[in-house]
Amino acid sequence: MAKLRSWTQIWRSIVGMCILNSVLNFKIVTLADDTGSNSIVSEGDCKNTNYQIFLPPPYQNISSTICKPVWHSYELRYTKTGDTTTIILSAPYTVGWVGIGFSRDGMMAGSSAMVGWVNKHGHAKVKQFYLRGRRQSEVIVDKGELPLNNIPAAVATNGAEIYVAFQLQATTPFGKQPILLAFSTKRPLNHHLSKHEDKTAVIFDFSSGSTGPVSNWLIQIRKSHGIVGVLGWGLILPVGAIIARYFRHKDPLWFYLHSVIQFVGFAFGLATVLLGLQLYRSVHVHIPAHRGIGIFVLVLSILQILAFFLRPDKDSKFRNIWNLYHSWFGRMALFFAALNIVLGMRAAGAGNGWKISYGFLVSIVLVAVIVLEVMAYLKRSQKRSLPHTFQMDPVGEATFPTNLAKAG
């Protein structure tokens, strides 16, 4: 028994050193990636256009704006007055529609856009659209997350250019914001947008007016954040929990398997949080529910790791309390992790491939848990129904027939 305890202590020390080394190495890589910089588009001057002549008030009353070229001949003007940010997009135009979208991560799905056009009767139109997905049916008119104020948006043409103007009301100042630019030469039909003919995504810094492309590494971080999170919290940690609950008869193998798998799952979960923080620092993705639950699940995971090192002996009076704490905190962490994966997919506008894959993974885990739980219940029922084939006599009572003593 003493030998087994010494091996357990050595095992805990080795695993702890490996986890600490992995965390430090990942953090160093993360900080190194942060030092990279995006290429900046040339900040050439905008065309000297007196837009105050053709735009309606209050846009014609704006005295000065910051203007930057953003894509081809597209120019973005903006100005701030208190909590109000006025934005004016100008673009080449003959027919069709022109749009500017605001995205959390540079992707179309999940973004909100202001789209302007001139219909066949010559009337200027501007609408907000919510881009729920990639299909045309998932582009919803008069919906979106842009904090528009009570001032109506405006659209006007001047020569061969179109101007889309609107105001945003936000207490939090805009910083680096991924924006989407797109156009089509086909007019919207009954407020249904035709597919864009060209598009781009750039990061526009509203604090300095600089622009830069949404780089591939940013998209890769976003994908890695989702993949690592699904693998860690959606697969590895549930498997470790299943082993701890249903394979305790394989002692001590179950304990070592459970420990190794959960430490690997914790490393994946920690990497998910670090990737999410890096994504937040890069583009200031503001998803408070997803971010808050992710940090909460990480705290629960850290408490589980601490519980491993503070695990009392089997004969300790605190062992039952520890068992309840460890099992229920683990279940709570898995529940909120699964919920957060769903929230993350929804916020990112994940495609059907992501949803089907995660749904399939959850289904397999649930089916495995149900089957193992039923088998465990039947096994317990079978043990309770077995007859007692051998019974010892109570200590201190006579074990021989009394008539033998009388015969003597």
Per-residue pLDDT of the chain (408 residues; tens, 9 = 90+): 444 455 555 555 555 555 444 444 433 333 233 333 333 333 346 777 777 788 888 887 776 788 888 888 899 988 888 888 899 999 999 899 999 999 877 777 788 999 999 998 888 999 999 988 777 778 888 888 898 988 899 999 888 899 999 999 887 777 778 889 999 999 888 888 888 888 888 888 887 655 555 556 667 788 889 999 999 999 999 999 999 999 988 888 998 999 999 999 999 999 999 988 887 777 666 678 888 999 999 999 999 988 888 888 888 888 889 889 898 999 999 999 999 999 888 777 677 788 889 999 999 999 999 999 999 888 888 877 766 555 555 555 545 455 544 444
Residue 131: CA count within 13 A, CB half-sphere: 28
Confidence at residue 12, expressed as pLDDT on a 0 to 100 scale = 57
> What is the DSSP code (8-state) at residue 232?
I
In whole angstroms, give the CA distance from residue 282 to residue 177: 10
Helix (H) or strand (E) holding 14: helix 2-34
pTM of the model: 0.53
Confidence at residue 41, expressed as pLDDT on a 0 to 100 scale = 32
> C-alpha distances in angstroms, 110 versus 145, 202, 286, 319, 385?
9, 16, 13, 48, 57
Q: What are phi and psi of 103, to 5 degrees?
A: -120, 155
- Residue located via tokens 């096994």: 379
Structural domains of the chain ordered from first start? 66-212 (2.60.40.1210), 215-383 (1.20.120.1770)
Nearest CA among 90, 66, 360 for reference residue 235: 360
> C-alpha distances in angstroms, 32 versus 27, 29, 62, 191, 284?
9, 5, 43, 47, 19
396: left (phi over 0), alpha (psi -120 to 50) or beta: left
Confidence at residue 72, expressed as pLDDT on a 0 to 100 scale = 80
Number of H helices, E strands in the chain: 8, 12
* H helices present in 178-283, as ranges: 216-231, 237-246, 253-283
In whole angstroms, give the CA distance from residue 91 to residue 210: 18
